[in-house]
Structure 1
Amino acid sequence: MALKLWSRVVVVVCILLITYNVLAAAGKNSNLSHEKQREFDNHLNRLNKPPVKSIESPDGDIIDCVNIAHQPAFDHPSMKNHKIQMKPTYDPQGDFVTNEEKAKGKSEPITQLWHLKGRCPEGTIPIRRTKMDDILRAGSIENFGKKTHGSIPQSGLTKSVNEVDNNGHEYSVATVKGEKYYGARGSINVWNPKVQDPSEFSLSQIWLVGSSTTNVTTIEVGWQVCPGLYLDSNTRLFIYWTKDSYTNTGCYNLFCEGFVQLNKDIAIGATLAPVSQIGGTPYEIKIFIWKDPVEGNWWLRVGEFTNTVGYWPGELVPDLADGAATVQWGGEIVNFEPNFQHTTTQMGSGRFAEEGPAKASYIRNMQIIDDSNIPRLPKDLKISTSKAGCYDIKSFEIANKEKYIFYGGPGRNPKCP
């Protein structure tokens, strides 16, 4: 009898707990004041433009196909009279892709999970719908979709990554500086690293950094696993920009006004599929960023030649008007673990560089665009890592034809307690 009674008590307690959690989830906005609720609703309305069509992705994302002229970029005060530049005046890369490039990895075309359920029509762009929970997780509209300070590998500025407190950010990067750079490219193979805590992330990207060391400007493109931003552990395409050291301007993806998208097939912030597997086929995204020498806008291409995604208007990143001062390629994680124990968040594939192309993460075909608007190999490439026992990096060159890096690691391990 006592056992039956206890079982009933357990069942009742479980039901009450479930009910409480459901009600708490349903009423999670009840602590917001009417003014704050209205502020959040207005921000959602600014981000989520009325769609021509909506597509529900298998991963739960809603992709809205929005009229190209109604995208968030044109809410920026400096963009009110902006005339959309439909194509660059000059393309330093052209449409030449060697058979060798095609054989090294599956980088073309770029595929995303939402493609399984449909495509956006001509004249629209795909935008991942933002939900109220996304903003609530950030704590405020001001914090939503933004990186934190210390999000640039300091080796690209004035000191090495080992000499600077990066506020929990750790890197394995290759850096060039000392000239003016009008673009950069690289083919990054795509993985799905484990992230220990939702407040942490792992990414691989290309950075273009302005000359100012006090009010840093960056353009950034790559892939990331960021549970705090997307509420899952999927590998996603991302972009970022800032012109004041991540303080007030810029954001991930299309979470704020700025980037002008033209492509109807690539959703920035959406899940990439497939991803590379240890010992299996290396899947890549080919990234190419360059400055239009006539209009001054910074263009982005991801994947095949036809996949020009859009551009950052030159007026948004004035410190890059005369080119970038630094270009960097590599990986970044953030380590927020307490008690001086290192995170197990992986960088890249989670394997060290020495394990080679079948296991380690890599970036190949690394090039910069010089002042003659011609792609070339970067000179005096420097490599650095924040925590050598946790993550590492190695660089290689093939007969003056191609530069590439292997990088990454598992995080906490016997050499990284």
Structure 2
Amino acid sequence: MGSARFSRCRTMEALVVIFSVLGIVSLCCGTRLESGSRQKLEVQKHLRRLNKPAVKTIESPDGDLIDCVHMSHQPAFDHPFLKDHKIQMRPSYHPEGLFDENKVAEKASEKPNPINQLWHANGKCPEGTIPIRRTKHEDVLRASSVKRYGRKKHRSTPIPPRSAEPDLINQSGHQHAIAYVEGDKYYGAKATMNVWEPSIQQPNEFSLSQLWILGGSFGEDLNSIEAGWQVSPDLYGDNNTRLFTYWTSDAYQATGCYNLLCSGFIQINSDIAMGASISPVSAYRNSQYDISILVWKDPKEGHWWMQFGNGYVMGYWPSFLFSYLADSASMIEWGGEVVNSEPNGEHTSTQMGSGHFPDEGFGKASYFRNIQVVDGSNNLKPPKGIGTFTEQPDCYDVQTGSNGDWGHFFYYGGPGRNPNCK
């Protein structure tokens, strides 16, 4: 009898343990499910905020959906300071002294070829609307968090040697090959950039070529306006070369974003979509393609305007977004940037530019040509006292030059990992 009671007690204890374990498991599962559904709701809410109602939707051959959104419904107007903003349909003044692209490079082999965006093959947006690349559920899920979606990592601006803190540069995981000017007041910059499709080793890495318009110190208060082309699997879900812009007023911490992924940039152009694929791109020892980008400060209204190519005025960043850039820029940079995540403890093989070193020259190495700055009189001028900077020239390098056709130019880039870069 005693042994039967003992056996029953053991059975009861075992059942208590089993139910306790089941309770903990169901609690964990419940918490996980709750966390998952909370994230799902957060993502859906963010998508509703970004994807405005479309007048028309165009499917691009690369799978992108381009929504034609009424100009006054674009994400910029979610900003509390822009609720009653009257859209400025054209800049008050345009910089004087633009290079005539038709006269550049008389040699047939060096003439720029026309460039387009892939989605144009399937239609165009009506007047009064702007094309916005639709953000998909999986785009947001690839980000480290919903809050960080569409944002660069902190400290991704190249810091030239005089103001450099090497430990900070190397810790950031970003590497650059740039030309730059500093020491004056700058009211804009222009460049014609050779367009390639560099290969990316890891999905969390990117390769871009851009211009930076910078104000403030390289501390927490850095103001930056950026524009160019990039390959970023993390942001877009593929390896296509895409037009992009970026802005921040606090060194990439809480303000700013790529393209139209937050309120800020006001687009007025119905032909070009930020973040959409550029086509065609250059090929080694074959046809070369380039894009021209001009960013300048309207002397009357104070907004920073962007022009793509010779005729597409894209829109503007309102001056109130910035502190230092509300006046002028203190540094201009042009060049390439990659993320080196050091996969397997080695330098990444993610390419910059064409993936070839500058000394290979035209048709093989990537270039920036006809680089100019805008002065206080709203004139485009050749930059004075150009410096260059690269963290590891054996991985990615830069070489400057000047001539009659290309004005000030430089070749830049490289393959990343190689026998001299490990």
> Is TM-score (shorter-chain normalized) higher than 0.5?
yes
Alignment of 1:379-394 (within 5 A): 379-394=384-399
In structure 1, what is the equivalent of residue 227 of structure 2?
A: 221
Structure of higher CA gyration radius: 2
Distance 1:216 1:156 in 2: 17
Q: Tell me, yes or no, if structure 1 residue 154 matches structure 2 residue 159.
A: yes
In structure 2, what is the equivalent of residue 4 of structure 1?
A: none
Displacement after TM superposition at 1:39 (Å): 2.5
Distance 2:65 2:101 in 1: 36
Q: Tell me, yes or no, if structure 1 residue 256 matches structure 2 residue 276.
A: no
Q: Tell me, yes or no, if structure 1 residue 299 matches structure 2 residue 305.
A: yes
Q: Tell me, yes or no, if structure 1 residue 334 matches structure 2 residue 353.
A: no
TM-score, normalized by length of structure 1?
0.89
SS of residue paired to 2:314: strand
Of 171, 174, 191 in structure 2, the residue corresponding to residue 169 of structure 1 is 174
Q: For structure 2, list consecutive stretches of 5 or more residues without a partner in the other structure.
A: 1-31
SS of residue paired to 1:290: strand
Q: Which amino acid aligns with 1:365?
A: N
Of 191, 195, 203 in structure 1, the residue corresponding to residue 208 of structure 2 is 203
In structure 1, what is the equivalent of residue 273 of structure 2?
A: 267
Kindly indicate whether the alpha-carbon contact (under 8 Å) linking 2:104 and 2:406 is maintained by their aligned counterparts in 1.
no
Q: Which amino acid aligns with 1:86?
A: M
Q: Tell me, yes or no, if structure 1 residue 316 matches structure 2 residue 321.
A: yes
Q: 1:95 to 1:365 in 2, by over 3 A?
A: closer
**1:320-366 CA deviation, whole Å, 9 max, x = no partner?**
02210100000000000245311000000000000001100000000
In structure 1, what is the equivalent of residue 185 of structure 2?
A: 180
Kindly indicate whether the alpha-carbon contact (under 8 Å) linking 1:145 and 1:255 is maintained by their aligned counterparts in 2.
yes
Q: Which amino acid aligns with 1:251?
A: C
In structure 1, what is the equivalent of residue 27 of structure 2?
A: none
Distance 2:308 2:405 in 1: 25
Q: Tell me, yes or no, if structure 1 residue 69 matches structure 2 residue 75.
A: no
In structure 1, what is the equivalent of residue 48 of structure 2?
A: 45
Q: Which amino acid aligns with 2:68?
A: C
Q: Which amino acid aligns with 1:416?
A: C
Distance 1:287 1:156 in 2: 26
Q: 1:40 to 1:409 in 2, by over 3 A?
A: same
Q: Which amino acid aligns with 1:247?
A: Q
Displacement after TM superposition at 1:163 (Å): 7.9
Q: For structure 1, list consecutive stretches of 5 or more residues without a partner in the other structure.
A: 1-28
Q: Which amino acid aligns with 2:102?
A: N
In structure 2, what is the equivalent of residue 230 of structure 1?
A: 236
In structure 2, what is the equivalent of residue 343 of structure 1?
A: 348
**1:9-60 CA deviation, whole Å, 9 max, x = no partner?**
xxxxxxxxxxxxxxxxxxxx96744443332212111110000000000000
TM-score, normalized by length of structure 2?
0.88
**1:63-95 CA deviation, whole Å, 9 max, x = no partner?**
000000000000011111211110000000477
In structure 2, what is the equivalent of residue 247 of structure 1?
A: 253
Displacement after TM superposition at 1:124 (Å): 0.3
Give me the CA root mean square deviation: 2.0
Kindly indicate whether the alpha-carbon contact (under 8 Å) linking 2:97 and 2:379 is maintained by their aligned counterparts in 1.
no
Kindly indicate whether the alpha-carbon contact (under 8 Å) linking 1:287 and 1:300 is maintained by their aligned counterparts in 2.
yes
Distance 2:231 2:260 in 1: 17
Displacement after TM superposition at 1:162 (Å): 8.8
Kindly indicate whether the alpha-carbon contact (under 8 Å) linking 1:150 and 1:166 is maintained by their aligned counterparts in 2.
no
Distance 1:156 1:263 in 2: 38
Kindly indicate whether the alpha-carbon contact (under 8 Å) linking 2:296 and 2:374 is maintained by their aligned counterparts in 1.
yes
SS of residue paired to 2:100: coil
Q: 1:128 to 1:401 in 2, by over 3 A?
A: closer
Kindly indicate whether the alpha-carbon contact (under 8 Å) linking 1:206 and 1:330 is maintained by their aligned counterparts in 2.
yes
Of 93, 110, 125 in structure 2, the residue corresponding to residue 120 of structure 1 is 125
Displacement after TM superposition at 1:401 (Å): 7.4
Kindly indicate whether the alpha-carbon contact (under 8 Å) linking 2:98 and 2:380 is maintained by their aligned counterparts in 1.
no
**Identical amino acids, percent of aligned pairs:** 51
SS of residue paired to 1:164: helix
Distance 2:105 2:123 in 1: 26
Distance 1:93 1:37 in 2: 50
Distance 2:409 2:162 in 1: 22
Alignment of 1:88-99 (within 5 A): 88-93=91-96, 97-99=100-102
